[in-house]
Structure 1
């Protein structure tokens, strides 16, 4: 089993920033300070969890929480366009890939900045994953997530094989969340 490792200080930073982001009346998909969050919504408007991304000292800290999903591994990725039009969420475009790499954390030519290990969902339909995007930023530089058209986060129906371009043979897109912003 593989995991992205985040230092304890990174987890504490992400938790504190996420708590400060969730203000009364604020809707998912909004950016507050150094934190962006997106609700993961299916084509039928079912909520399948949330993604919170915070700016850390050395990159982006990512916290993915899934709920109501089928048990087993699911490919999860940041996509290049902040659009989630059902039923297939193809409007989110390809994976966020500012460095022009190939797909997959096991690909010697990869990986996209938006590639992660699989989100493992338990028998209760829930799961969580914490990861980092080294060198990534929310708004500034060549690896800025929130460019003029924002970004999206997609959950796929099956596992990502971590090497096959362009999406790890992870199947259809079953949930999508939008990060809005702009420089």
Structure 2
């Protein structure tokens, strides 16, 4: 009888010891990383003729990596040099384009050539040349503009693009004596 009770004791001991055995559970932690894909901001605005001209075209603004690039493709110009500026308002309703106001100058600096130490307006883009067929193109890139960022010293939304009949002399105050406003576009979405 001792052998049987010892055998039963051994079986019970092995069953209870199995119950007390701890199983090691591996916990795998995962981390989800969300990435935002920033698409460039882009606005295309049509230029409309002003001051009884036939000047038209398009201006494309694109913001990417903290810089805004502008490309204007213009037709109907007199051959030669012409000024292009950003003006204070997107209002192109007047026949002479003067409803767009003066040059965009949020920092109250003198008119001049872009980047000049003596100062320049944020709207002082400069001059470009129209060919013998009256077609002209200008490209410009800066980190001093933004599209819709809300910074009054950088945001070009709500401003206007003006193409002038003549060249900007880059010194006359307050506008460079560039002549009539022959085309206008409002920078609006």
Same fold (TM over 0.5): yes
- C-alpha contact 1:39 1:47 (8 A) present in aligned 2: no
Do residues 120 (structure 1) and 122 (structure 2) align? no
Greater C-alpha radius of gyration: 2
* Residues in 1 aligned to 2:78 and 2:53: alpha-carbon distance in whole angstroms: 16
**Displacement of 1:64:** 1.0
Return the TM-score normalized by structure 2. Answer: 0.71
Which ranges of structure 2 fall in alignment gaps of 5 or more residues? Answer: 1-38
Mapping for residues 69-148 of structure 1, pairs under 5 Å: 69-105=77-113, 108-140=117-149, 141-142=151-152, 143-146=154-157
Displaced runs of 4 or more, over 6 A: none
Q: 1:59 to 1:163 in 2, by over 3 A?
A: farther
Mapping for residues 1-183 of structure 1, pairs under 5 Å: 34-43=41-50, 46=54, 48-105=56-113, 108-140=117-149, 141-142=151-152, 143-146=154-157, 150-181=158-189
**Displacement of 1:59:** 2.5
TM-align CA RMSD: 2.0
Aligned residues: 147
Return the TM-score normalized by structure 1. Answer: 0.73
